[in-house]
Structure 1
Amino acid sequence: MSQFIEPQPFESHPDTLSRSQLRKYLRQQRKALTFEEQQQAAEYLALNLLKNPDLHRARHIAIYLPNDGEIDPHLYMDIARRKGVQFYLPVLHPIHPGKLVFSPYFDGVELKANRFGIPEPAFSKGLKRPVWALDAVLFPLVGFDENGGRLGMGGGFYDRTFAFSRLRPGLAPKLIGLAHDFQKMKALPIEPWDVPLHSVVTDRYCYRFKRSLPA
């Protein structure tokens, strides 16, 4: 059974690839997983999320609906809901391009595909929760490294939405990436605007990182 541990040395991956090449390589790897492998990964992910101390007191958590081979957080969500956790889905901001808002996600909520084909709730100014009022944000990763650097899909939505965390760390939620463990890299090419993570939870481990935000 997986245990909560500090980061261990990462296996080497091709370090001569650009960010776009790494993104393509890792996406191919996760999309190659079978249904059974994805299901097993989701079960171990749920166990590790339930043990993650950053989530023990969290009651308002942003999450995502998996696609493109992303690790599936549904099992964790089902368990956490029974413990009183309210979840929120990212919604493309209709006024500020490139940013996200977060709307409540519950059984029966109507979802519509956004311009990327990803289901999301309809935007409602009255229902959205301010990003600083979230306790934690769980978002999918394409890759991550031993220092908490991350590789996303390339749109920069989370970086722009949580850029305030660099200037006002006390208002920032816990930023937690979710990934299959094979998505870990020795080192990633990091850009100045990349927002670092508090931790990454995979189907094998919980990796916690030293960063400027409060632990």
Structure 2
Amino acid sequence: MTSSRQQIRQYIRQARNALTSDAQYQASIDLINQVNSLEDTPCAQNIALYLATDGELDTQPLIEALWHCGKHVYLPVIHPFSKGHLLFLAYTPDSELCYNRYGIIEPRLKKDAIIPVADLDIIFTPLVAFDQNGQRLGMGGGYYDRTLAPFQNSVNAPKAIGLAHDCQKVDSLPSESWDIPLEKIVTPSRLWQWES
């Protein structure tokens, strides 16, 4: 099962990296419209996103649109002491950024910029692939699964919504016991939604 997950990761990563810069740009603009049409967006104030890497959907135009609407945006930072966990830090145009151990850009760690996960309204999660049941396949580190696990079945939990290119959808994903399916996944062309 692990090898098939790895094969899916490899195939989808190649597919999204093969997108032209024009296609990537158009996808990032279409994403803004899709996110703005979500019922969760208007009342959300604290929104977690991420900076794209490895062919992921470019989130910077969406981040700038959210700033323009007066929303507070937060980015994930690898927790320095709690292995496999994430912190979320405020992200503004003035934020100092650095590369983490995976070569992903994140805000430089500052204690006063951290927001408790419970105070986030939406956590937009990256993913490598998703299927028609809302299963999400990440990069394999389990960071988002660990972040979201304490909030499963909690009424006041942050809404976890996946972001992906349309080409990242597959028919079916092999899942593990720790995988947390998503209720919603947004692609540039549509919203995928499942019952919780």
TM-score normalized by structure 2?
Answer: 0.95
Cα distance in 2, alignment partners of residues 96 and 65 from structure 1 = 22
SS in 2 for 1:45: helix
Q: Distance in 1 between matches of 2:113 and 2:60?
A: 22
Q: 2:160 is matched with which residue: 166, 175, 180?
A: 175
The amino acid of 1:33's aligned partner reads L
Q: Which runs of 5+ in 2 are unaligned?
A: none
* Structure 1 residues 14-29: aligned runs within 5 Å: 18-29=4-15
Distance in 1 of aligned mates of 2:167 and 2:106: 28
How many residue pairs were aligned? Answer: 195
Take 1:60 and 1:87, find their aligned partners in 2: how far apart are those partners?
A: 6
Q: Residue 195 of structure 1 aligns with which residue?
A: 180
- The aligned counterpart of 1:86 is 72
Report sequence identity in percent.
Answer: 45
Q: 1:40 is paired with a residue of what secondary structure?
A: helix
Q: What is the CA–CA distance in structure 2 between the aligned matches of 1:182 and 1:127, rounded to whole Å?
A: 35
Which residue in 2 is equivalent to 1:112? 98
User: TM-score, length-normalised on structure 1?
Assistant: 0.87
Structure 1 unmatched ranges of 5 or more: 1-16
Q: Which residues of 2 match residues 49-88 of structure 1 at below 5 A?
A: 49-88=35-74
Report which structure shows greater RCO (CA 8 Å, sep ≥6). 1
Partner of residue 205, structure 1: 190
Aligned-residue RMSD, C-alpha: 1.4
Matches within 5 A, 1:109-148: 109-148=95-134
Aligned to 1:8: none
Equivalent AA in structure 1 for residue 147 of structure 2? T
The 8 Å contact of residues 34 and 191 in structure 2, kept in 1 or not, is answered as: yes
Runs of 4+ displaced beyond 3 Å:
none
Q: Is the 8 A contact 2:66 2:73 kept in 1?
A: no
Q: Which letter does structure 2 place at the counterpart of 1:175?
A: A
Q: 1:98 deviation in Å?
A: 0.3
Distance 2:101 2:116 in 1: 23
Q: Does the 8 Å contact 2:134/2:182 carry over to 1?
A: yes
